[in-house]
Structure 1
Amino acid sequence: MKISALRTVQSLFAASLLFAAAQAPAQQVLRVSAIPDEKPTELQRKFKPLGEYLEKKLAMKVEFTPVTDYAASVEGLVAGKLDMVWFGGFTFVQAKERSKGQVVPLVQRAEDEKFRSVFITTHKEITRLEDLKGRTLSFGSESSTSGHLMPRSFLLGAKINPDTDLKRVAFSGAHDATVAAVAGGKVDAGALNISVWEKQVEEKKVDPNVVRVFYTTPGYYDYNWTVRADMPAALKKKITDAFLALDAKNPQDKEILDLQRASKFVPTKIENYGAIEAAAINAGLLKK
């Protein structure tokens, strides 16, 4: 073979290798986080089996990164530093506004279609929302749906303005911290999501005979798993299908669902959170 012809073959071979390398998919990583409505260690514990399940279903690495506060979860997704986030209804609405509609909710727990908040206290004389006038109250995070927005909305509905009718309003930062504040006598009452309350009672971290629920809100849409709108459609479908495939009849799936406090996951859509958005605007927590 002539030298020129050999060089041509070598060049073509090298080019083919470069083309193949360019076409080979880079190792993908799904970067996941969640609003910090519980301690970071608890969030990590709850996500670990789910993350391992998603890795198998998606055939890609799944990394969970805790964030410092609710705003950081929104900014992380909007800025492209995160691919999927467990949002509350209000944080989803905030992310939708902040990104100008560039986020999409994929799935929620069946329980999130009629989620509720509870008001708790240690005081026997507090039996209804109206009894909170002149008292101290702790919400969770300012950006929490079930720990602030909806409890505030129902207080306003009962003709109680937390900012003027209560002696003092505090923000604990997380649902379990609200329980601790009420149990420790730091505040007269607190508002948190019913799921964390029930878990605290089940795990005997609080005595319901001492700290009791005196008001439970009507149901509303809440938590969901949200992704960026620019995520490839095929990956969105794989993620959605993976969540919908979780079956409580399967022991391994049941472990995952139990940790997520879910009976199953169901599809969701942006329109489901219209009432949350309206409540946020009405409460002065969201400006349009």
Structure 2
Amino acid sequence: MLRRTLLSLALVAASAAHAQTPTFKVTAIPDESPTELAKKAAPLIAYLEKQLGQKVEFTPVTDYAAAVEALVNRKVDLAWFGGFTFVQAHVRSGGKVLPIVQREEDEKFKSVFISADPTVKALADLKGKDLSFGSQSSTSGHLMPRHFLLQAGMDPEKSFRRVAFSGAHDATIAAVAAGRVAGGALNISVWEKFVAEKKVDPALVRVIYTTPAYYDYNWTVHADLPKATRDKLTQAFLNLKADTPEGAEILKLQRATRFVPSKAENYQGIEAAAKSAGLL
């Protein structure tokens, strides 16, 4: 009876301790549809729960600014940022957010300009026509495409008849494919995914320009997150390998070969581009 009593007390204590463990909250910039973001998050969240030994919850946000504010104000513990949203959070928090990992692909990321207009063969052919970016706070869907347009001597507010913001990369593809705009700028990874999944016909919607490479997305935490948790989280991402079923699924959905360590210095070029474009 004593043994049963002690076991019951131990189970109650363990249950109480588990209940007191705070939920680890994760968010991501809404650069794709809510359905796609949820699909990408599900296996990663399950994996992180096992690695951290606590409940992990994905908390979607309505826009890029909300993702920044959520991490800066510690409403979430981990955020998937683009390079520009990381810079915004870094500035907004006074340097109190830290990028821990990025995909290997993010070390040399690119944007593409696409068009379904048969008269548009190059960037210069878009002059006087309608152009769509993604979200105003998107690195690959706005900031860096704008940066490279300016370098090519094309001021978006002067060179185009109208500049629109679709809100997300997949929405930009849809706007171009439907002929609502003559051209659109977006993340090369989303473009390649749409082509691979036959959601867009590259014979009808074509890439007319690919930008030079730059640093982009990362997973970022608040500096107040305990170092032990931060280290465990970082290692969990670095341990993802494509030769295991779990790792292969997560990496495929994240469109990553593997994750590598990241640092704030990687995004100095993004910050300079944002300041140069008057966006920061």
1:224 aligns with 2:218: yes
SS of 1:170 mapped into structure 2: strand
Q: Deviations over 1:165-214 (max 9, x none)?
A: 11000000000000000000100000000010011111111111000101
Asked if residue 68 in structure 1 is aligned to residue 77 in structure 2, the reply is: no
Shift of 1:41: 1.3
Distance in structure 2 (CA, Å) of the matches to 1:148 and 1:190: 10
1:255-270, aligned counterparts within 5 Å? 255-270=249-264
The residue aligned with 2:122 is 128
Distance (Å, rounded) in 1 between the aligned partners of 2:225 and 2:208: 43
Give the alignment partner of residue 117 of structure 1, picking from 111, 114, 122: 111
Tell me the amino acid that sits aligned with residue 232 of structure 2.
Answer: K
Q: 2:268 aligns with which of 260, 268, 274?
A: 274
What is the RMSD of the two structures over their aligned residues, measured on CA atoms?
A: 1.4
SS at match of 2:214: coil
Q: Aligned partners of 2:255, 2:62: CA distance in 1, in Å?
A: 23
How do 1:37-116 and structure 2 match up within 5 A?
37-116=31-110
Q: Work out the CA distance in 1 between the residues paired with 2:201 and 2:140.
A: 21
- What residue in structure 2 maps to residue 211 of structure 1? 205
Residue 245 (structure 2) aligns with: 251
Match status 1:194 vs 2:170: no
Could you tell me the TM-score, scaled by structure 2's length? 0.93
Specify every segment of 5 or more residues in structure 2 that has no aligned partner in the other structure, as ranges. 1-12
Structure 1 counterpart of 2:141, from 144, 147, 170: 147
Percent of matched pairs sharing the same residue: 66
Q: Secondary structure at the match of 1:73?
A: helix
Q: Which amino acid aligns with 2:132?
A: S
SS of the residue 2:200 aligns to: coil
CA distance in 1: counterparts of 2:272 and 2:239, whole angstroms: 33
Matched residue type, 2:145:
P
Separation in structure 2 between the aligned mates of residue 279 and residue 132 of structure 1, nearest angstrom: 22
SS at match of 1:85: strand
Aligned to 2:164, the other structure's residue is in SS state strand
SS in structure 1 at match of 2:51: helix
State the alpha-carbon separation in 1 of the partners of residues 103 and 219 from structure 2. 9
Tell me which amino acid in the other structure corresponds to 1:94.
Q
Q: Across the two proteins, how many residue pairs are aligned to each other? A: 266
Give the greater-gyration-radius structure (CA): 1
